[in-house]
Structure 1
Amino acid sequence: MSSNTLSTTGNQDIKEIKIANIENEIHEESQCAETEMPVEVEKKTGVSFPIKLHDGRELKAIGVRRKNVFGFPFKIYSFGIYADNQKLAAVLKSKLVERQAKVTKEMYEMVIDNPVGITVKMVMVISNVPMSMVRKNLNDGIGVAIRKLGGGQNNELTKRIMGEAKDEIKLTHGSKIEVTCLPGYVLETKANGKVVNKLESELVCRAFVYLYLGEDPLDKEAKDKFGMSLVSMF
């Protein structure tokens, strides 16, 4: 298949955009635009996130992804959740006509069901993390979310999220992974600024946002802060 073309796999309504010529080494992302922007610091890890991305999406919440190993919680990455304010406000105001005093389950569900414009920027806080571990972590998490959203078991779909990122690549402290739901329900994944995959699937986009805003979020405080930003839009 040629570069940047869409293909349908099997009988699933899923299209995958192949990114050609993925290099073995992932290059560092240019920080010029971000270094000029004010930041918010995630206090548990000291990682800073620009309050706005170069495309105008604004930071709504920050948090930490932890993983239990032999009963001990380890910090894997810090994350910032960004959103397009105009798209977010349009989604909320399309169904809610009155000002909300506090965030509701319905409001979270509205964002999950309309995830276009959401970006999650992840910054590793441990070193020498193999890409295979990152891939498995995303696959497992999104796989559970897909089942909770009624999509059943779909291993073939979830393992495409990291695309052609090589398993032997190791992410160091400070390495970045950025996942964005683009128009058309295209989930774009970048590693250190380099696009490694684009997967067109409404279900995967919804499941990815569900990880952070669903019933059992990766960081409850981050979900609550995102919810406060929804209320403030009224």
Structure 2
Amino acid sequence: MPDWIHPVLTGAFLAVSYRVVRSSGVGLRVAVLVLAVLNACLLWVVAVAGPPWGVPVVAVVSLAAAVYHLVGAARDAVARLRVVGPPEFRELVRRVAEASGPQVMGVCVLFTGAVALTAFADDSRPEGRQFRLLPGPECPFCLVEEQIRDFLGAGDPLLGEYRTHLAAGSSRHLLVRRPSEQDPWTGRLRDRTVYRVPPAFRRPPCTVHDPLLGRP
């Protein structure tokens, strides 16, 4: 077997692996971990069994594939994202609430002070589409709590749980769902280490949440 076959096959395998991992839908951290381990193992194989030029060539191919798919993933994310105003935001929420069939909606206040809404893949049922309500005069936390009350009820314990996390500096991701229109809505809070409460200068004054978050 010629010595160049190892780097050629390895480079091709890595290029395909980036594509597979990107299309798998795994999170960024898992993708980075999997590809880092894969690169380390394959580069070691090339270093042991391949020619001296094999490692730098495979490394360049891997880097090019990584940059290509990173740019592609960023482009896909931007294509799924749409900025909306408060009226359109509430209209999207209303469409979720009134739609038939299984429904899932996620709402979260980002560190920037914007509110992220993930809901409904076409005009009538945009699943996987992401919408952003940019910081404005409305308190973003009040907007999230409004969804808790509207979907789950004013007395749902998730409201108190949400405020407890806010007081600890964690902006949890609210998920509400129902299997069908005959079933009741259920909700839970997802934790992500990057979901932090935005600083005071990135959110408007609020008589409800300012005392909770330490702003007089």
- Of structures 1 and 2, the one scoring higher in RCO (CA 8 A, sep 6+) is 1
Normalising by structure 2, what TM-score? 0.26
Higher strand share: 1
Higher helix share: 2
Higher-Rg structure is 2
Normalising by structure 1, what TM-score? 0.24
